[in-house]
Chains A and B, each alone.
Chain A
């Protein structure tokens, strides 16, 4: 222990720490962690974090530097790897590092000398597999597949980045087909941290609008790390909840994403997705054509059968009619012969008889009519005798009381009353001056 008179300057201390530290870490070490807060300032700075697997909270972190002169080597290793990727936030990396101490700042500095890309790729694959297993168990991956893919998916809810190469590839392919597709575009962020929320929200929006036949999620190709945002539980769950079938076309050369697995159907590229839809329409058209052919065939067969039936009917009808006519002709001929043989005298006799009957009838009718006439004339005579007008003409008259009643007896009337008397050509009005009753009446 040194006395209080002896001391070190800060730089002496820092240099001393550096000596101790570098002798403690004589050779480079492999360190694994998650990149956060990456800053590209000629040199590349970031912190390497270790998270608690349960809570996801940061348990430990260390500052990491990639010096500008080391970057070409690191980038070459990354680009040469199968499914190359670039260093960015949120990815897990395995770095070959030298532990150093930077005396001017008094900070421990981990300097990168090499990288093992297979670790990152393996980690992505592992995470992905774990996610797939969980989603599978929850049944999320099967939900959308249970929906019926429409036979005519002509209205397409398109989730992609507007004006991107993927957008143009997809739309151009649909246009080339000549079918009248209609596109409802939901412009979404197709990479990075906000991708999953943006895509999930777009799926919900299209379900709410509910005027599309099918939803298409598409983007162009990229590295595994670029596309790892599509290995998303949030997107998978939005697809599972969708009432519309979802088609995914996320440009991926080797692996399928979780989004692809959750979708109803997936294709490799935007163009392939468009072709799938066109194929669906073509299949429907072909199916229609087949139905049409089948109908025509059926109609042809039916018509043929009916035509044959009618022809057979016609033939049998002709035959039976001919037979009938022939029979009638024969009968007529026989009758003719019979009539020819009938003796002429018999006919004459019959004629005389009928003439006689006619004459009798005529006479009888005339007699009857004559009798009727006589009867009616008798009636006429009788009626004429009774006709009051004719009686009046003979000098009789009808007297009536004031109330118009005919006077039949002297008792119908009193002295001094007024009476009217009807003659054949007029009426007299007179006053009764005297009444003389005849007893013998």
Chain B
């Protein structure tokens, strides 16, 4: 699965997995670099998803408030 299609919860699960591996001292330096790279990408995706969700929620709430004001109910 490409990262772009990843669901938020899947991204977070993967991050947990990577953190657990990083915390394991036996991990190879080269592998570590790959994992960090993947983790950074996942963090960027999660941030974007959160930002997007926040914006959408704000829009829905605002629209609703505006609608309520217009109809006077």
Q: How far is the CA of A369 from the CA of B58 in the complex (A)?
A: 12
Give the chain A neighbours of B32 by CB distance below 8 A: 386, 388
| Contact of B29 with A386 in the complex, beta carbons under 8 Å | no
- A355-414 contacts to B, CB under 8 A, are 358, 362, 365, 369, 372-373, 375-376, 379-380, 382-383, 386-389, 398, 406
| Closest beta carbon of chain A to B7's beta carbon, Å | 13
| Contact of A382 with B19 in the complex, beta carbons under 8 Å | yes
Give the chain A neighbours of B53 by CB distance below 8 A: 369
| Contact of B29 with A406 in the complex, beta carbons under 8 Å | yes
Binary contact track B2-29/A, C-beta < 8 Å → 1, others 0: 0000001000100100110010000011
Judge if B54 is at the interface, Cβ distance under 8 Å.
Answer: yes
Give the chain B neighbours of A388 by CB distance below 8 A: 29, 32-33, 36
User: Residue A376 contacts which of B28, B33, B50, B54 (CB distance < 8 angstroms)?
Assistant: B50
Give the chain A neighbours of B36 by CB distance below 8 A: 383, 386-388
Q: How far is the CA of A4 from the CA of B58 in the complex (A)?
A: 176
Give the chain A neighbours of B43 by CB distance below 8 A: 376, 379-380, 383
| Closest beta carbon of chain A to B29's beta carbon, Å | 5
Judge if B30 is at the interface, Cβ distance under 8 Å.
Answer: yes
Judge if A39 is at the interface, Cβ distance under 8 Å.
Answer: no
Tell me the nearest residue of chain A to B50, going by C-beta: A372
Contacts A387-B36, A388-B33, A406-B28 given; indicate if A382 touches B50 (C-beta within 8 A).
no
| Contact of A362 with B46 in the complex, beta carbons under 8 Å | no
| Closest beta carbon of chain A to B41's beta carbon, Å | 10
| Closest beta carbon of chain B to A228's beta carbon, Å | 110
- B19-70 contacts to A, CB under 8 A, are 19, 22, 28-30, 32-33, 35-36, 39-40, 42-43, 46-47, 50, 53-54, 57, 61, 64
Give the chain B neighbours of A382 by CB distance below 8 A: 19, 22
Judge if A175 is at the interface, Cβ distance under 8 Å.
Answer: no
Contacts A386-B32, A386-B36, A406-B28 given; indicate if A379 touches B19 (C-beta within 8 A).
yes
| Contact of B39 with A379 in the complex, beta carbons under 8 Å | yes
Q: Which of A358, A362, A369, A376 has the most CB of B within 10 A?
A: A376
| Closest beta carbon of chain A to B56's beta carbon, Å | 10
Give the chain A neighbours of B42 by CB distance below 8 A: 379
User: Residue B61 contacts which of A358, A369, A387 (CB distance < 8 angstroms)?
Assistant: A358
Tell me the nearest residue of chain B to A390, going by C-beta: B36
Q: How far is the CA of A372 from the CA of B57 in the complex (A)?
A: 15
- Would you mind naming 27 contact pairs between A and B with Cβ atoms under 8 Å apart? A358-B61, A358-B64, A362-B57, A362-B61, A365-B57, A369-B57, A372-B8, A372-B46, A372-B50, A373-B47, A373-B50, A375-B12, A376-B46, A376-B47, A376-B50, A379-B15, A379-B43, A382-B19, A383-B18, A383-B19, A383-B36, A383-B39, A388-B32, A388-B33, A398-B29, A406-B29, A406-B30
Interface residues of B (CB under 8 A from A): 8, 12, 15, 18-19, 22, 28-30, 32-33, 35-36, 39-40, 42-43, 46-47, 50, 53-54, 57, 61, 64, 73
Interface residues of A (CB under 8 A from B): 351, 358, 362, 365, 369, 372-373, 375-376, 379-380, 382-383, 386-389, 398, 406
